[in-house]
């Protein structure tokens, strides 16, 4: 699977949009971009995934660049409960393996 | 998504003993997995639990140390054998292929926090 690069940490203001970047410059045409988050000591929570089109659900939006070499997860209105480690993962659609990197530690401040 | 539960949620064990962790899903799933998360680290896949056959282990993990069972489509166990303090970790079950869930998406249980003294 292609590797991803994320900033180790970032701070966000409560109520503002949080934009989390991820680079995946070696992504293949059949690899999806997945986002998970892990709130302290809990199991990872699935957020969203996409192949090449932008995606939106009740939790977040995923913006994938046209060349697919990078993406941004957008939390539209960050709350204190969004403080977590966010993982960007690329994965071939029919390959079950999820390779978790270090992720981005996001701290939402009041 | 399915409701995934793990038992026990946490335990403190003595070195040399073994602990069996259970993972129960409230609906049938195609695939079940076991991960380990060592303190301050990210998740590492231990193995895929296969129904009716031996689990498929990732590099660095062996059946003698982490025997796994999967008797049906909703249940699996992971045993951590002959434990040492280095086995202190969070052990997580995940599932994929839920009938009503998003396809090709893994969902995780709450984890089992193990401390070995």
- Residue A18 near residue A108, CB atoms below 8 Å: yes
Q: Do B111 and A98 touch (CB under 8 A)?
A: no
Question: Would you call A8 an interface residue with chain B, using a CB distance cutoff of 8 Å?
Answer: no
Task: Work out the mean pLDDT of chain B and round it to a whole number.
Answer: 93
- What confidence category does residue A17 fall into, taking pLDDT thresholds of 50, 70 and 90? very high
Q: Which of B1, B42, B45 sits opposite A97 (nearest CB)?
A: B45
Tell me how far apart the alpha carbons of residues B80 and B16 are, in angstroms, rounded to a whole number: 10
Q: Which of A32, A93, A100 sits opposite B42 (nearest CB)?
A: A100
Question: Would you call A102 an interface residue with chain B, using a CB distance cutoff of 8 Å?
Answer: yes
Q: Which residue of B has its CA nearest to A103?
A: B42
Percent of chain A at pLDDT > 70 equals: 96
Tell me how far apart the alpha carbons of residues B83 and B93 are, in angstroms, rounded to a whole number: 19
State the nearest Cα–Cα gap between B16 and chain A, in angstroms.
25
Q: Do A98 and B45 touch (CB under 8 A)?
A: yes
Which tokens is B61 given?
């993990």
Tens digit of pLDDT for each residue in A32-42?
999 999 998 79
**Average pLDDT of B3-26?**
97
Q: Do B42 and A94 touch (CB under 8 A)?
A: no
Q: Which residue of B has its CA nearest to A92?
A: B104
Tens digit of pLDDT for each residue in B65-109?
999 999 999 999 999 999 999 999 999 999 988 765 566 789 999
* Disruptive mutation site among B29, B57, B96, B108 for chain A (greatest number of A CBs within 10 Å): B108
Contacts of B108 in chain A (CB under 8 A): 43-46
- Cβ contacts from A onto B, under 8 A: 45
**Cis peptide leading into residue B81 (ω within 30°):** no
State the nearest Cα–Cα gap between B106 and chain A, in angstroms.
7
Q: Do B92 and A96 touch (CB under 8 A)?
A: no
Tell me how far apart the alpha carbons of residues B18 and B66 are, in angstroms, rounded to a whole number: 10
Tell me how far apart the alpha carbons of residues A86 and A96 are, in angstroms, rounded to a whole number: 19
Tens digit of pLDDT for each residue in B18-69?
999 999 999 998 899 999 999 999 999 999 999 888 999 999 999 999 999 9
């Amino acid at each position: 699977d292609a590797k991803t690069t994320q900033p180790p940490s970032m701070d966000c203001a409560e109520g503002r949009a949080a934009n989390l970047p991820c680079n995946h410059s070696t992504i293949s045409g059949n690899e999806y971009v997945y986002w998970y988050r892990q709130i302290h000591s809990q199991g990872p929570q699935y957020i969203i995934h996409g192949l090449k089109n932008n995606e939106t659900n009740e939790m977040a939006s995923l913006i994938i660049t046209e060349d697919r070499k990078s993406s941004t997860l957008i939390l539209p209105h960050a709350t204190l409960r969004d403080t977590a480690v966010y993982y960007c993962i690329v994965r071939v659609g029919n390959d079950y393996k999820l390779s978790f990197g270090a992720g981005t530690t996001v701290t939402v401040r009041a | 998504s399915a409701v995934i539960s793990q038992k026990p949620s946490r335990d403190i064990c003595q070195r040399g003993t073994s602990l069996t962790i259970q993972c129960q899903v409230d609906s049938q799933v195609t695939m079940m997995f076991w991960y380990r998360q060592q303190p301050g680290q990210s998740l590492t896949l231990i193995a895929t639990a296969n129904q009716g056959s031996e689990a498929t282990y990732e590099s660095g993990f062996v059946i003698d140390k982490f025997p796994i069972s999967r008797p049906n489509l909703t249940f699996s166990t992971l045993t951590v054998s002959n434990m040492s303090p280095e086995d202190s970790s969070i052990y997580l079950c995940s599932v994929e292929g839920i009938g009503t869930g998003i396809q090709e998406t893994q969902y995780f249980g709450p984890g089992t926090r193990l401390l070995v003294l």
